[in-house]
Structure formats: C-alpha cells, structure tokens
Amino acid sequence: MSNTIGNNLLHQSLLYPTVLEHQGRINSSTCIGGNTFFQSQATSLTQKSSISTEFLGNRLKVRRHKLKMGKCCSSSRSRSTRAVLAADPSSGLTEKFNLYQNVELQVDVELPPSGSTSVVNIQVTSGIDSLLLHWGAIKSHTKKWILPHHRPVGTTVYMDQALRSPFEKSGSNAVLRIEIDDPSIQALEFLVFDEARNKWYKYNGGNFHVKLPKRESRSPNVSIPEELVQVQAYLRWERNGKQNYSPEKEKEEFEAARRELLEEISRGASIQDLRTKLTGKKDTSESKEQLVSGSKSSIPEDLVQIQSFIRWERAGKPNYSPEQQLKEFEEARKELQVELDKGASLDEIRKRITKGGTQAKVSKQPEKKNYSTGERIQRKKRDVMSLLSKFDSVPVEEKISLEPPVLSAIKQFAREKEDHIDGPIVNKKIYKLADKELLVLVAKSSGKTKVYLATDLPEPVVLHWALSKIPGEWTAPPATVLPLDSVSLDKAAETKLAIISTDNQPDKVQSLEITIEDDSFVGMPFVLLSGEKWVKNGGSDFYVELNTGSVKNKDAGDGKGTSKSLLDKIADLESEAQKSFMHRFNIAADLMEQATNGGELGLAAIVVWMRYMATRQLIWNKNYNVKPREISQAQDRLTDLLQNVYKSSPQYREILRMIMSTVGRGGEGDVGQRIRDEILVIQRNNECKGGMMEEWHQKLHNNTSPDDVVICQALIDYIKNDFDIGVYWKTLSDNGITKERLLSYDRAIHSEPNFRREQRDGLLRDLGHYMRTLKAVHSGADLESAIANCMGYKAEGQGFMVGVNINPVSGLPSGFPELLQFVLTHIEDKQVESLLEGLLEAREELRPSLSRPSDRLKDLIFLDIALDSAVRTAVERGYEELNNKIMYFISLVVENLALSVDNNEDLIYCLKGWNQALSMKKSGDGNWALFAKSVLDRTRLSLTSKSESYNQLLQPSAEYLGAQLGVDQSAVSIFTEEIIRAGSAASLSSLLNRLDPVLRQTANLGSWQVISPIEAIGYVVVVDQLLSVQNNTYSKPTILVAKSVRGEEEIPDGVVAVLTPDMPDVLSHVSVRARNSKVCFATCFDPNILASIQASEGKLLCLKPTSADVVYSEMTDDELLSSTNSKDDVSSAPSLTLVKKKFAGRYAISSEEFTNDMVGAKSRNIANLKGKLPSWVNIPTSVALPFGVFETVLSDDLNKAVASKLDILKRDLDEGNVGALGEIRNTVLELSAPPQLIKELQEKMQKSGMPWPGDEGEQRWEQAWIAIKKVWASKWNERAYFSTRKVKLDHDYLCMAVLVQEIINADYAFVIHTTNPSSEDSSEIYAEVVKGLGETLVGAYPGRALSFICKKSDLNSPQVLGYPSKPIGLFIKQSIIFRSDSNGEDLEGYAGAGLYDSVPMDEEDKVVLDYSSDALINDSKFRHEILSSIARAGSAIEELYGSAQDIEGVVKDGKIYVVQTRPQM
C-alpha cells in the first residue's frame, strides 16, 4: 500500500465541541510514517451520512445530517477526514456509524468507578467473521501512533506502526473490547479491515478518532525514585527479550517504566508498595534512612545513575538482579555523598564524572570489555600447551565371524536371481515388512526391463500395480506387459504372486516377474494385498524406478574395520527411520548405548548414518504427519545422550562433535511447535495466505526439515533483492534444493513467491524472526541462534502462541556476553581480522566450560561448533584481504583447528612454530622465510595425518552402510573427503597453498629440490604411491609422477625419473638408490608445474635438471630413438656376483677380529676408524655375529623342524609365490639359540665392556634373541628380495652378519655425504640432522630433516638450507642395537645400503617434536658449534679413506659419535 507523510493534524484541543463534515473525494491522501497517522490507501467506503457531535455539559447530543456524496459542507474549515468521538469524564458515550448498506459500527466509551482504566467497546452489526481493528493510540503533543502494551487477545503488530486486533463473534455481531491503562493516552484512532475481502472501512476516507476521558491523578505531586524506575525499566527489558536498544529507545523505555509506576500510584499504590513489589522485600529502617539521607543531600538522580553505571562497568558489567540494582544505586549515592561531605560541589562532581575523570579510570580496569565497531579485542596471553588434548584411544574392532551369515529366504532368493541375470542391475531394494521382507529387483536384459518381486509374507499376496510415464502417476499397464492371469482395472492391474519351492529355506517365498519392453515407462507404483490386509510403504505407495541409469552398488563386503553389528541394525531400521525425523532421531537415541560401547567405530556408525541423512542420501519423510514439537523433542533426547557421552568419555569428543553438528540442536521450551505456529502469524501479519506461502505452510504442517532453513533464507534474499525471483532460485540451488525436490515433498511446493512491495518490511522482519526458530531446531552451527541459546532470550509469543523463555547458561566467564556481542557486530565485516581474533578469543574463553559438567553442556558445545564454523566462513570471505598478514591468519586457523580436534599435540607445535616464524620476521631474522617454510611443510603433514585418520575411521563404515542402504556410489566414495572439506582443515590447506610460493621466493628455494640430477627421457605415468608400483617393470622408459614417496621404496625397473610433491630426505634410502641407479629424482613444490607434467601423461618428455631446477620439454618418438642410438656405445655396467661366505667356527667376534671373510663393510669400516680420528670424534664399542652363524643355527638339531619348513617355503618362493616372503620371516623367528652361541656372545660383549642383556633376566635375553632373528629374517623382506632379483644376484648366496652396538640415547642423529649429492660438488659437504635416533632420517618417516652444506675450505661456516619439519622423533633408553651387515650392501654399482633391517632390543618411544624449545633451532651459537663439528667429522673420515663417504652418527650432550661409514655411492 502506498502512503504519504503529511500533516493532516487534528485541532489542537479535542475537548472543545467538534464538528466533523464529510469531505467527499477532496484531497484524501493518507498519512503514515514516524510522525503521522496510519491509513491504508484502499478504496474508500461510500458514506450515507455524516455525523456532527456536540458535548453540552454532561449530556451527549447527537445530530444527524443527510449529505449527498461529493458535497462538501464546510471544506474550508475541515483539516482532516476522520470521525471524532469525545467523552465526558464523568459518563460513558455511545455513538453509531453506518459503514456500508446495513452494516453499522457502534462505539462505547466507559470509565470504571476506579477511574484507572478506560474501556472502549466496539461492535459491528454484521455477520462478517473476518474483521480486524487496525488501530493505535495518541498521546499529547505527538502525531505518531503509539502501540499500547495492554492489548486484546490475538492482537498482532503490523509493520511496527499499528496494531491489528480480531473481532470476536457475539451472536450475529462482531465485538471487540479495548482496555487502556496508560493515563498518558488521550485518544484512539482506528480503521476496520475485512481480511477475507481485503476491504477497508473508513470514515469519509479517514480514521475514526475516539477521544478518551481525562483522568485525574490521585498523586499529582508524587515523584518516583529513579532507582525504582531503573528496576522497572530492567523488567520491561527482560520482558521484551533483552534486546539491544538504541539510546533513543532506552529513553523511551525509561519513560514508559515511569508511566507504569505512576499508573500504579494513581490506583492507590504507595512508593513503599512499589519498592516491596519490585525487590521482593519490605523496606528496612536502614533503607528508609538511606532514602532520607539521599533526599537531604539533594544529589540529582542523573548523577546517581552515572555513578552507578561507572560502578557497573568497573565490576565487569555483571547481570544484576533488581535487588542488587537497588543496592548499587544506594552505594553510588553513598560515594557521591562522601565527596560532598569532603567539600566537593555538585558542579565539580558533575564535571568529573561526565568529562572523563572517572571514565578514564574505568577504562583502565582490566575487567572492562567494551567492544565497539572498529575496535580490535585485546587477546589474553595464554600458554599454547593448555590446548593439549591427548588420548590413547584405540578403536574397538569388532570380531567379524568368518562363517558366512545365514541369509533370509528373500536375501537368498535375491542372490540366486542376481547370479542368473545377464544384464546390469539398475535398482534393488529390500523393504522391511515387520518381521518379513519384500524384494524389488530391476534389471536390464536383452533390451528389456525386468522387474522381480519376492516376499515371505505368509498369506497369499496380490500385486496391485501400475506403470508411470510421469513419476508417481498410475497408468494401467498395457496388455502385452501383463503376466498370466492378471486382471486389468481402471488405471491399474492386479496379479497374484506364485509360491516357489525352496529346498534350504523354512519360509515359503512368493514371487513374480514382469517384463517391460516400452522404455517410455519410468517407474512402477504398487501396493500389496496380503490376505485381506493392504500392505504399503509406511503409509505411502511403493514406487520403484525403472530407468535410474545407475549400476549395482558396491558389495557391502565383510564389514572389517567397522562396528558391523550396529551398522546391520541401522540398515534393518532404516525403513522405520524414513517415516520422519522424529523416528530417525528416536532410533538413533535407542542405539546410542550400543554405539558408545563400540567405541570410536560404534560412534563412527552414527556419524555416517546421520551424515547420509543430512546430505539427503536417505528419505526424510514418508507422508508421516509429525508435529515440529515432536521432532525437536526427539532431537533433544538424542543430543542429551550425546552430551552425556561427551561428559563421560572425553576421548570421543571430536567424533561426538561431528554427530552433533549433523543432528542439530533441537528445541527447548516449545520452540519446535513454534515452527508450525509462527508461519500462521507470518501469513496473517503480512496478508500472504495463498500461493507459495500456503504450500510451504502445508509442508511445515506435515513435517519440517533442514530444507526449511534454506527456503526461509531464499525468501529473505528474494525480498531483499527487490523481489528478484532469480535470487530465490539461486539460494535454493546453491544449497542443493531443486524444483524437483520442492515437488517431491509429501506436501509439494509448486508455486513461486509473489509478494507485494508494501509487504517488504513486515515480511523481512517476520521471516528474520522465523529463521531463528528454524535454526534453533535444525542447525547445530548457526552462530546467532547458538549465542541466543546460551545467553538466554525471551519471546512472548502472539495470540494463541505460548512463547519461549530460554534462560542464560550459568557460570560463563566475566565479559563473555560482550565478547559474543563483538563477534555478532563484526560477523559480516569484509575485513575479517578483528572478527577472527574475536572468534578465537571466544572459543578460548569457552574452552574450560566444555570440560566441566553442566546440564546445559550441549548448548555450549553447539556454541563452540558455531564459532568454529564462523571461523571457516570468515577465512573464506576474507581470503583476498590476507596479503601481508597471511602467516598471522594461518596461526589463527591452526589455533582454531587445535581447539576442534583431539590428539592435537602436533597441531599445537605447528602453532608454536607459526608464532616463532612471526617473531623471527618481526625481529628481522634473515632466515624467517626458510623457517616458516619448514613449519608450513609440517602443518601440511599434520593435515594429511588427520585426513588419513578420518579416512581409516569413517570410510569403511561409509562404504559398508552405503552398500546396505543403496546410497549413490559417488556419495559413498567421497564421504570422508566431504567431511574434511566442511571443516577448518580445508581453509587452512588453501592458506598454506597461497603462502608456499611466497616463502619459496623469499627464501630463494625455487620450485624444485633436485635429489638426483640425472637427465632423462621417458613417457609420463602418474601414480598415487611409489610403494604400490615398486615391484613393477616398465617396458618403455618411464617418468613416474608419484603423489606419495615415503623414503624406503625401490625404483621400479624401466623408470628413468621420479617426480613427486612429497618431501623425502635427500639422504633417504630411495634418494640414495635413485642416485646410484642414475635415475632422475626431484621434489616439485609448485602445484601448477606438477599439474602441467601430470597433464602430459602418456607423452614423451625430456628432463634436464640442474642443482635447483628441472627444465622439461616434449619430444617425439623419433627423437627418443635417436637419443637411444647415440648411447649404444656406452658400456653396460659390469655384472654383479656374490661370494657365499662360510661359517668360521665362531658365533661371536670382537671388533679386532673383523675381517672381509667374517663381516661386511659396515662392521669393518667402523672398526677401522678406532684410534685414527681426532679424540673428540667418538666410536661406539662393537661386536658381531659373523657370516654363517644363521645357517649354522638353522642346521642345529634344535631347529630341524624350522629348517624343514623353511625349505618348503623357499621352494614356493622360487616358483613365484612372493606371498611366501612373510611366512619365511615368521618362520625364522621360530629359531632356538644354541647354548654355545649364547655363551660366546656373552663373553665377547662383556670383554668389550658392553652390558650383557641376560644379566637383567631371561626375558631380556629373549628380547635380544628376537632382535637378532629379525635382522636375519630381513634377508627376505620384499624390498631387498626384489632388489637383488632385479640385478640378478643369487639370493641364496646373500649372507648376513649382525653388528652389535650399544645404543647411544642421542639428542640428534645425522647423515653426512662428503660430496654434495644434489650438485655433485666434491668441495662441499652435505648433511642432514634430526632429533632423536637416525631411523627417522633413513626410514619411512614423513617430513624433512634440518639440512646444511659446508665448504671443505671453511668448515666453520655451515649454511642451513632447510629447517626440520619431521613431526616425530624416536628416543630410547640405554639399550643394544643389532645392525644388518650383509655381503650384498656395498657392492660397486649396486645400492644395497639400507635394504635390510637394524633392530633395537627395546622399542623406541615415538615423541611428537616441539622445535620451539630446541636449541638447534633457537640458539644460533649452539647450532653453529654442532653443525661445524659434524662437518669437521665428515671431512676427517673422508681424508682417512681418501674417497667420498656416506657417514651416520649421533650427537649426545654436544659430543659427536660416528656409528658407521661406507663409500658414498
């Protein structure tokens, strides 16, 4: 409706006799707005008469004048077009108006004897039952309609400018009673609106005006104490839902509170009565004395209010009770009185507290948290380690029975039928019919569609069925389709199912086969008649799709790695769960005990099931009418149980958060029922009862779902964007709702929204409120509703609605509400830095409360989930603004992720690393980018580890349940991936990808790290893991692009280059073997370059690496042939042979006895170093079990059975059964130790000064013996076996000595190559250093070591190339290590080093590393000393041997120990 703002005001005094004259159609513009009367621009009703009223004394005199339409009797004198009814104070007034034909309006104004309340009775003499009074009240000196607090039942607020009250039926009339208890209201104005006919009843195109009698105040001189006004205003604020008022609104509320108290005074209440009512206590003599004292001091109340406000701020803005507020007022008054007593004047006090004196002091209080727009919060300093969440939780694996499950008669029938179907199966469903089943199987065979039905219902079954060309329609099947003995009906057919014989099933099976040749049919609706009972699908027809185009789902498998029994139960209950959300949530609640007992795997089953529900892979509702209240109660029940597990089993909190974020919060109070009720209010308030809104109302009435949140948002977006219907559909589409989905609801939504522009403001207001209700039930991650739920709110409700009252959660930190308000204020800021700081501060403040028991714990969890979600959203929105602050943003997101996950130790150390990198950058440290790159690499590894743990936990359950429930295979395959994408980890990964090239450029790292700089030409092959293809043989020269390289793999035959984004150490086994095999090996850090090479899969590329780059280009096959021919004259590598070693008659020897015939090069080289190096280079004591000991032990009579078993297994291996390798290793572990071996080994170890394990007990010797056997068994590990086979070494000739050394519990371990392996620069030493034992350096442990180079000409100037990113260090107590030392490890031209195992007697402890406290990183002087010492040791050993060396050693307490050396290959 269109309105104008004008000044068609009434006469200033409405107490004088007033004459109203009809103006007809002259200048009838209506008046609306902040300061005008409201009137609809509807068609004016035709008036048959105009009324002139005159008050003479106490008697009303009514005169009627007949006027013609269009005439104006005194238009020059009339200023407005409205009827005025004035009442004498001492009597009532009755007046009648003719509205239309025989419809009359009668208005009665009466004043009860008490004189406190005016009553206006309005009656319409008509049978119309859809009348509303559109009205407001007028106060003195204002033109604006005000909306009285006291309203008739059913009254609604219209656009915040008028009230609408429904008339009630009274016989044939419509009546309405309005009571006005506000003495400041002088008049009422109204129109009558027929809602059903959209028709307005006015007086001559204007408002009806009813002047109320003036009331005499009983206590005209009473002044209400300001503290009582303050309490009353607080109660009004609570009553109105604790809204955020503007300063103007606050003033209005204070005056309204004052008027309410004055009204009570006018009714006879005393100040003492008011005080008792407001505080709940009677006045004491002390308080009376205070009041007297206060009045004597004449301290203005505004100063007392300011002083009490300052006290409130100083206390941290607590929520005071009314009684506490009164006390605060009196304390403030006392403070001011003290100043007066000391001689200060009121003016001085006023200047001080209003011009900053006290305010400045208040602002310095640490408790004050006043966050205004544009400010940034001051984050508290916290110990990052307080975030640690570490649990030794091991998944409870169900024992899966190896016996095949007993199949039901229907499942057995389905299996047999599937075995005989020659075409694809496009649909398969097994419905639960109580304790019976129904199978529907659809297959394509020879161009025809075949439908197989089978059931084990005991009664004879008749299929009542049809075919559909449009989904869901019933069309009679053609005669050519009908099976034998079918009966045709109108739009359907009936066919009996036949009983088939089953030899091995006790239950009889009835089945039917239907063949359909017409491809135009898309589905088959049907029901069953079993005996005399109709069987339906949860109250609806069965419907099977015939042309889904899908293929048979992946087989469910054996359920390994899942809580199989629970998943089977979920699958059995799914048909019941599909009835409604209420059913599903109640079933989930029933299963929670079993899920909790199943540990992580049991809870993973619930996550998977709820996630399939949330992503609409499962049916939400099958035409089952459920009240929203019942849905929210079911959610409450489930989330209460989840809350209890969260309290009792903290190790499962991360997975419980997953479930809760999927389920949604549910409703407290009666918030669920409000979903159904409030849509009616929206329709009524905004006159939108038909079309799309009515269809949505019907859908909500039947069953609400999370889709309703999206629909509501789509409507809001549509209205905000100038009613652009395209925006409506875009919002729906972006959130997965299509037109087809809207039509698929049991109560379908067919129409589009079509609102009028004048409905805009009211709809935006009401839909905005409605969104809070929807999100309160359906959303677990909506921030606004989560905050409201924890901070408390009150919604009074309207008309028949009962309202909601949510109490605030108790025990929250001081200042927390203000912090959340800051977050809400900035939640949509484009500059997100302040918002992210606020969100993280809120999560940090909330975190302790999440670990404490509380009956409202789940509300806090949902708030934390919502804050977490808001961080992700903010990062994505602010992605473009990051620029120079990207490292700081990453630190915030890492902190957020650490707050969200369990076992977060690695993430916490990553966070410490980012903070250190920021500090280095700020201080101007030149290595900041190099260090930050190592932290970035480690953070990526941490994300990868978390992703792998999710995949291991969730994906098996997703695949098993997905197969059971027929979930689309594409949704099953990406299940875990989508969960990861929905979390903060995905945002963090994007930030890391953006920062990586910046750091590489700043640190001059380039896009490549070249490990083996060999030119290569080959065809590109892309693989996921090098490990998965290490045993392959490629017939053509191949460039492998492997996404994962662990560090201990073999290079496959035929491979000329390996390129990877992974980060194997330059000195790892695979790196060494690549260089020895003359294979190009490089890490590519630039994802764009790597993607370009991957896109060349199948093409021929030429790689030309330098020490820091790889240039690549495409080649033709002819160029490859030319290149190959040019190399034909190159002599091939000499063939490799092994000399079989013999047993020399001794089981153990000392290092002085190490010879070529007794031990390998590893043992000989370490013995050769003794006494020949500087004294500061330490060599550990060594003994050995020489060559031939293994074979001698095997031939001992003690081990005849083992030897016989090994012979059989080795023959299997020779015949190509590589699976025998594992069995051989296990068989070696069965060997028994001859007594002579034990005796000799003990003697040699003790004479060398080494501890003898047996001195600590028989068990310790057994540990040592097992370690020795593991070294021997490693002769048959896959990596070594395939490596020797490729170079045609005789595996039987491979002999294994065992080098025995005392383990040094190292601080650091290192590997040195005395010639730089990447550049082949012999003037430069290259070394890598790790914390703890060296196995993390040479084995398959992710991350990089600290790497450095050092010129031999200046061994005191090491240059760090890269800081460490390895997350794990290995540490061990004082122990013994048994090292492999074969005769095949150091053959010229063969990279045999590292193929076999070294085994410590005791298991190493895996420790998550904190580099922020590591002196090697933080202390430049210490780092320089250690790295220089390592370089000098390497140079000394190279000088001793006269050739480049590959050296391993450790650092302990600053001392260097060398544990082995060999020629560098």
Catalytically annotated residues: 1069
Give the Cα separation of 1011 and 1030 in Å (integer): 18
Q: Tokens 């050394």 map to which residue?
A: 1301
| DSSP character at residue 634 | H
Amino acid at 1293: Y
- The tokens for 457 are 């219902």
Contact 1030, 1042 (CB under 8 A): no
The count of other CB atoms within 10 Å of the CB of residue 1037 is: 17
Q: Which residues pair with 806 in a beta bridge?
A: 793
Q: What angle do CA 1131, 1136, 1139 make, to 5 degrees?
A: 150
Contacts for 1297 with CB less than 8 Å, ≥ 6 apart: 1158, 1159, 1160, 1163, 1184, 1185, 1186, 1187, 1189, 1381, 1382
Contacts of 171 by beta carbon, 8 Å cutoff, 6+ apart:
none
- Answer whether 187's CB lies under 8 Å from 209's CB: yes
Helix, strand, coil % over all residues of the chain, rounded to 5: 40, 20, 40
- β-bridge partners, 177: 121
CB neighbourhood size of 1371 (10 A)? 14
List CB contacts of 793: < 8 A, sequence separation 6 or more: 241, 242, 804, 806
Q: CA-based Rg of the chain, rounded to a whole angstrom?
A: 43
- Tokens 């969890």, residue located: 861
Q: Which residue has the tokens 């001080």?
A: 352
Q: At what angle do helices 1200-1214 and 1220-1228 cross, to 10 degrees?
A: 160
Distance CA 584, CA 865 (A): 22
434: left (phi over 0), alpha (psi -120 to 50) or beta: left
Task: Find the Cα–Cα–Cα–Cα dihedral 150, 151, 153, 157, rounded to 10°.
Answer: -130
Other Cβ atoms closer than 10 A to 1205: 16
- Distance between CA atoms of residues 471 and 465, nearest Å: 14
Helices (H) and strands (E) in the chain, counts: 43, 48
Buried b (16+ CB within 10 A) or exposed e, 1241-1253: bbebbeeeebebb
Angle separating helix axes 760-778 and 707-720, nearest 10 degrees: 160
Distance CA 1431, CA 1424 (A): 11
User: Which of 977, 971, 969, 974 lies closest to 554 in space, CA to CA?
Assistant: 969
SS3 1103: strand
Q: Three-state DSSP class for 1408? A: strand
- Phi then psi for residue 140, to 5 deg, are -65, 145
Handedness of CA 557, 558, 562, 567 (dihedral sign): positive
Angle at 152 between CA 146 and CA 158, to 5 degrees: 45
Alpha helices in 1153-1252 (DSSP H): 1161-1168, 1189-1195, 1200-1214, 1220-1228, 1235-1247
Angle between helices 271-279 and 226-239 (to 10 degrees): 40
In order, the DSSP letters of 153-167 are: TT-EEETTTEEEEE-
CA distance 453 to 414: 9
